[in-house]
Amino acid sequence: MKITFEEIKNRKSVRTYEDKLLEQGIKEELVSFIKSNNTGLFGTQISFELIDLSGAGQEELKELASYGNIRGPKYFMAGTITSSFAALLDYGYLMEKNILAAMSLGLGTCWVGGTFSRAGFMGKLNAGIGQVVPAVVPTGYAAKKVDVSDTATRVFVGADSRKHWRDIFFDGAADKYLTETAAGEFKTALEALRLAPSASNKQPWRIIKEGGKLHLFLERTPGYRSHGKEDMQLMDMGIAMCNFDISAGETGLKGTWKTGGSAAGKEGWEYIASRE
């Protein structure tokens, strides 16, 4: 299955789904992809499952899927990890690939990180002691008629807006913004990163380009709440790296992300990884 910049550019969160089962061929192709997409960028092994709730009763659905403004999905993609810096990055990275794969099959998706029954999904996934479900992703056919609350939610979180290049990409140091011209061969991949989804659309990633290297930082949103061991904004970093890598692969850009190093950023920024 080929995932391209087009999926990244056209991706939107879908919160209202048709009351319709997945076509068998599409379901099999999606399951095959998410089962094979199991090794993270930093080595974490994650077994994702497509959870089929089409036969669930109302009480089970209510208990399991207390997910706010998401309406009507019969399927969820989810996995478990033992929470760590690398595992959270990898969960974001791999699940974003699952999302883009689902989109290439004509399905809608939406990241859900804060308002679902973690205990319920952990039971469905037979999670082991110490494991967590950081986020789940409903999927299915997007409803043709968008619910009013869906539109209101998109407006509330600013889902259709993205930070400008000058706010997130920097040239050599954090006090000089990076122009698209100066980005050179990184331009398209950085644009893919800029378009990435993030928790509450906070877009906390920051990049400093240093010659042929890129340094990724996390600028946390003041007061933003994580959920237990599930650091949502750290997962956002994995999502951003995934989008970058997909576009880089398309354009023939060489290199890989590495953690464990260091780079000078701005006060309050957390160093995440470098790519060279």
At the fourth CATH level, which superfamily is domain 5-151?
Answer: NADH Oxidase (3.40.109.10)
5-151 and 165-275 share one fold: yes
CA–CA separation, 88 vs 69, rounded Å?
25
CATH code given to domain 165-275: 3.40.109.30
> What average pLDDT does range 44-51 have in this prediction?
97
pLDDT tens digits, one per residue of 142-162: 998 765 544 444 444 444 589
Residue 120 has a pLDDT of 87
Q: 187-194 and 232-251 are packed helices; what angle lies between their axes, rounded to 10 degrees?
A: 150
Do residues 119 and 237 touch, judged by C-beta distance below 8 A? no
Domain boundaries, the chain: 5-151, 165-275
Burial class (CB in 10 A: 0-12, 13-18, 19+), 177: middle
Do residues 239 and 205 touch, judged by C-beta distance below 8 A? no
| Whole-prediction pTM | 0.92
pLDDT tens digits, one per residue of 80-132: 999 999 999 999 999 999 999 999 999 999 999 877 888 888 999 998 899 99
User: What distances in angstroms separate CA 263 from CA 115, 209, 216, 253, 266, one per listed residue?
Assistant: 35, 11, 9, 22, 10
Residue 61 has a pLDDT of 67
Residue 36 has a pLDDT of 97
pLDDT tens digits, one per residue of 14-31: 999 999 999 999 999 999
Assign 224 to helix, strand or coil: coil
